[in-house]
Structure 1
Amino acid sequence: MERYDLIVRGGSVVLPDGVKKVDVGIKDGKIAAIAAKLEGEAEHTYDADGSHVFPGMIDVHVHFSEPGREHWEGFTTGSAMMAAGGCTTFFDMPLNGIPSTVNEEALLEKARIGNEKSLVDFGLWGGLVPGNEDDLQPLAESGVIGFKAFLSTTGNKEFEAVDDMTLLTGMKKIAALGKVLALHSESAAITNWLKDEKEAAGLFSADDYLETRPIIAEVEAVERALYYSEITGCALHFVHISSAAAVASIEAAKARGMNVTVETCPHYLLFNHDSLREKGSIAKCAPPLREADEQQRLISLLAEGKFDMLSSDHSPCPYDMKDPKDFNLFQAWGGISGGQFTLLSALELALAHNISLEHVAAWTASNPAERFGLAERKGSIVTGMDADLAIVDLNKAFTVTEENYYAKHKQSLYIGHSFPSSVIGTIVRGHVVVRSGEVLTEVNEGSWQKP
């Protein structure tokens, strides 16, 4: 009789070919068997009857700030937050740590810290910044997921935006290395000029902020990057796209056969500019939350399959950097704290708009794994793959509170939001790290994942 380390029994499992009520047998961290009624013994069992079992989420876009700014968010609190949301692998962006991840030494130090502290698996982005073009090859050879660059001012002196010459040179090198360049695509010239105009006039309201980062600034940057990609052959991934017009440009590039993917974030789909008007800096991000009609366009595009994936862009900061009493809106930190809620957001949207659960699994797991070189072991529930699972009760509502949000800083646009579903369990390579909705913080099972 077959022996397993763990059997997840009785769940409705979201498989690549549909949702089926099956058992999942796990051995040595891998999915060893899938069957309607799995015969065999197991050291442990997980009763998933009445629940849905999804492939563990892969969030390709989070900002943890360790080393150097662990007081913003570090691997310990950040990975606990991700686990609580059904995420089994996250990719940490290169910019908010000190030092930023722009050379091999910084990469290896961040990986060491993550291996020591993370509850779930993780990948690491490298940065493309002015002056580090010669560091790209060592970073690629050491295992970065890809590279990240900004076309708008970063607000971070350790990680500057690229100029056009750096961008073209970097893209040519990244193409030769077979990697993907992720881009924050807003025109620095447009956004900085509009910001200067507003500040000179003493205009600092929510509407003023939105007007400094118009949709045309996103479209200009996206189209410029696509032109450069055609010249250099560099694969692109557009992060946190917030407008239908930008998606149209990306769709046109895909139709021409270009190697490009696009993500959006739950906050652009669940919230709109009214949140910035009502709540102030807690809802500030870049690109900004759009007006309600644009929000509805983005939801329609998601339902039509125009977004390849969803990611959180979890971008936290200490309370005082968001405090509206001490800053005008232009000075407050621009970022949404919400890494725990991407899978729940995807499910809310799917249930509300009659989108299949298989599409949710694609947005949150299989598409990210395929795009970034992990598909041979992650992203789907298939025999031989890593046993990364998120167990969800579709019928149990979850209202976000400071008590059940695991991030270091509890200041979030999501506080008070009620999701129709709950993540009740998370399994990382066969190890249960969340049970009954509670994070088992003594279980540090995460490891650095290289493509």
Structure 2
Amino acid sequence: MTRDLLVRGGTVVTPHGRFEGDVAVRDGRIAAFGRDLGSDAATPVLDARGLVLLPGIIDPHSHLWEAGFVSGPDFTDSTASAAAGGITTIIEMPLTVPEVLDETVLKEKAALGERTSHVDFALYGGVSPDRLHDLDGMWAAGAAAFKIFTCDTGCAMKGVIDDADLVDAMTRIARLGGLACFHAENDELLVANRRRLAAQERRDNAAFCDWHSETAELEAINRILFYAGRLGTRVHIVHVTSPEGVRLVERARGEGVRATAETCPHYLYLTEDDIAARGAWVTCAPPMRGPAAMAGMRARLDDGTIATIGSDHGPVDPELKLRASNDVFAGQCGMPANETMVPLMLNLAAEGFVSLERLAALMAEAPARLYGLYPRKGAIAIGSDGDFTLVDPGERWTIRQAELIGACGWTPFEGVPVTGKVKATVVRGRVVARDGRVTGEPGAAYVPRLS
């Protein structure tokens, strides 16, 4: 029996346990797994002895952005760095040019991705108050979720700021059975904070965190959860920065609200002190909080209260960061992150904050289930796509931009020592990256929502 690939001799880790053995892929899908699987001479063999084989890692929070933020008008660069970093599927946000606000643009973006992506991908639909009538078409075209900002985005895709618009959007998404993913910050508080800081002539690095205050984030989370409970909308709060935000989501879940929370590696490694010291190079919205918040988020990784990990990959051109040399508000928010996400999370496993089984849930099965891609993605099961992330959980190394391939040319984690390294990335039985370098030309699959 000819197979596309036989992965030989690894330690297979899933959310439900681990075993030593082989996994065989045929026609892009898992055909068998177990010990000492046979193969014919035509079957490529990937030696995984000494390595851990995880279900293919999914990044549910990716921003390719447009030319000007980083070089390149398509999927090529950011999916190359994703593949190098062990990610087999990305779920791509709608803030590209043009923004994904209707079915036509979603389908055009899917076609572009299939030509130029190194990894498989799903797509978000964008939510803008004047385009709510287009949600149905995007959902029918397989959108995995809808992205809502409760504050001004600075883009043509305006935030859903007014409560009446928010209720209308959430009502429509609930009717579809869709998932509403939220950037949660209170716009009125952001505007007032910025006005106050301008009056004080504050442009220092620490002013950024005063602008994007934790209060502004928590108020928006609380309001979203209230409406979700009233309307029956499934909601996912992305890039939650602190244990307080996670507690709000958990409390709502206890009251029957269908709500989940995501966090990102930068909230697990960086703090507001880094923003004060390094300025725009580590600014994102919402920003990192204090050391106690970072410690609290690390402590919650293994207890099930955080549903998913997303990179919030945003490859900003260095020139757009350098604009902030004398004014933190002049710098473009965002950080390249998909190439370092898996190693940073493996390091937290090595340090005892989270088990490898829990990482397989947080970074593969849970996002696949949440976004309607399971069991095609996120599982090591017969018939699932042959997607694997092979890692050496014990290899020690230091993150250096010189070893990374992202075109923006910098990383916020320069010099961070980690234990755990990606050795190979497999998408539907095809090895797309080895040892931090892509191994073939682009060409991937758009993965429409299954349910």
SS at match of 1:280: helix
Match of 1:366 in 2: 365
Match of 1:84 in 2: 84
Structure-2 change in CA distance of 1:92 and 1:136 (3 Å): same
What is the rounded CA distance, in whole Å, between the counterparts of 1:115 and 1:159 in structure 2? 28
Match of 1:283 in 2: 282
What is the rounded CA distance, in whole Å, between the counterparts of 2:362 and 2:268 in structure 1? 14
What is the rounded CA distance, in whole Å, between the counterparts of 1:314 and 1:258 in structure 2? 28
Write the deviation string for residues 186-239 of structure 1: whole angstroms up to 9, x where unpaired.
111112101110012111122222122222211110111111112221110100
What is the rounded CA distance, in whole Å, between the counterparts of 2:412 and 2:246 in structure 1? 25
Moved over 4 A (4+): 66-70, 324-327
1:72, distance to aligned residue in structure 2 (A) = 6.6
Which shifted more, 370-379 or 2-11?
2-11
Which shifted more, 360-369 or 376-385?
376-385
Q: Does 1:319 align with 2:322?
A: no
1:161, distance to aligned residue in structure 2 (A) = 4.2
Match of 1:180 in 2: 179
Which shifted more, 342-351 or 184-193?
342-351
1:33, distance to aligned residue in structure 2 (A) = 0.7
Match of 2:438 in 1: 439
SS at match of 1:112: helix
Match of 1:45 in 2: 45
Write the deviation string for residues 57-108 of structure 1: whole angstroms up to 9, x where unpaired.
111101012588663774101110110111110011012x111101112111
User: Does the 8 A contact of 2:10 with 2:21 survive in 1?
Assistant: yes
Q: How does 1:375-394 map to 2 (within 5 A)?
A: 375-394=374-393
User: Does the 8 A contact of 1:29 with 1:430 survive in 2?
Assistant: yes
SS at match of 2:401: coil
Q: TM-score, normalised by structure 2?
A: 0.95
Match of 2:268 in 1: 269
Match of 1:297 in 2: 296
SS at match of 1:4: coil
What is the rounded CA distance, in whole Å, between the counterparts of 2:86 and 2:78 in structure 1? 13
Identity of aligned residues (%): 33
Q: Does 1:56 align with 2:56?
A: yes
Match of 2:143 in 1: 144
**Amino acid of the structure 1 residue aligned with 2:36:** K
Structure-2 change in CA distance of 1:69 and 1:330 (3 Å): closer
Structure-2 change in CA distance of 1:244 and 1:69 (3 Å): closer
Which shifted more, 420-429 or 320-329?
320-329
Write the deviation string for residues 414-436 of structure 1: whole angstroms up to 9, x where unpaired.
22222211101000000011123
Structure-2 change in CA distance of 1:243 and 1:366 (3 Å): same
1:17, distance to aligned residue in structure 2 (A) = 2.9
Q: How does 1:124-135 map to 2 (within 5 A)?
A: 124-135=123-134
**Amino acid of the structure 1 residue aligned with 2:226:** Y
Write the deviation string for residues 382-416 of structure 1: whole angstroms up to 9, x where unpaired.
12210000110112223222232222202221222
User: Does the 8 A contact of 2:58 with 2:90 survive in 1?
Assistant: yes
Structure-2 change in CA distance of 1:334 and 1:437 (3 Å): closer
Query: Mind listing any 5+ residue stretches in structure 1 that lack a counterpart?
Result: none
Match of 1:448 in 2: 446
SS at match of 2:109: helix
Which shifted more, 418-427 or 201-210?
201-210
User: Does the 8 A contact of 2:25 with 2:32 survive in 1?
Assistant: yes
**Amino acid of the structure 2 residue aligned with 1:164:** D
What is the rounded CA distance, in whole Å, between the counterparts of 2:211 and 2:436 in structure 1? 41
Match of 2:397 in 1: 398
1:325, distance to aligned residue in structure 2 (A) = 5.5
User: Does the 8 A contact of 1:5 with 1:27 survive in 2?
Assistant: yes
1:318, distance to aligned residue in structure 2 (A) = 1.7
Match of 2:219 in 1: 220
Structure-2 change in CA distance of 1:103 and 1:162 (3 Å): farther
What is the rounded CA distance, in whole Å, between the counterparts of 1:337 and 1:60 in structure 2? 15
What is the rounded CA distance, in whole Å, between the counterparts of 2:352 and 2:330 in structure 1? 37
Structure-2 change in CA distance of 1:445 and 1:430 (3 Å): farther
1:24, distance to aligned residue in structure 2 (A) = 0.7
Which shifted more, 149-158 or 416-425?
149-158
What is the root-mean-square deviation of aligned Cα atoms in Å? 1.7
Write the deviation string for residues 236-287 of structure 1: whole angstroms up to 9, x where unpaired.
0100000111111100111112111110000000111221122111111111
**Amino acid of the structure 2 residue aligned with 1:87:** I
Q: Does 1:343 align with 2:346?
A: no
Match of 1:103 in 2: 102
Query: Mind listing any 5+ residue stretches in structure 2 that lack a counterpart?
Result: none
What is the rounded CA distance, in whole Å, between the counterparts of 1:325 and 1:259 in structure 2? 40
What is the rounded CA distance, in whole Å, between the counterparts of 2:370 and 2:430 in structure 1? 25
Q: TM-score, normalised by structure 1?
A: 0.95
**Amino acid of the structure 2 residue aligned with 1:273:** E
User: Does the 8 A contact of 1:151 with 1:183 survive in 2?
Assistant: yes
What is the rounded CA distance, in whole Å, between the counterparts of 2:409 and 2:16 in structure 1? 38
SS at match of 1:126: strand
1:293, distance to aligned residue in structure 2 (A) = 1.2
1:444, distance to aligned residue in structure 2 (A) = 2.3
SS at match of 2:4: strand
What is the rounded CA distance, in whole Å, between the counterparts of 1:412 and 1:438 in structure 2? 17
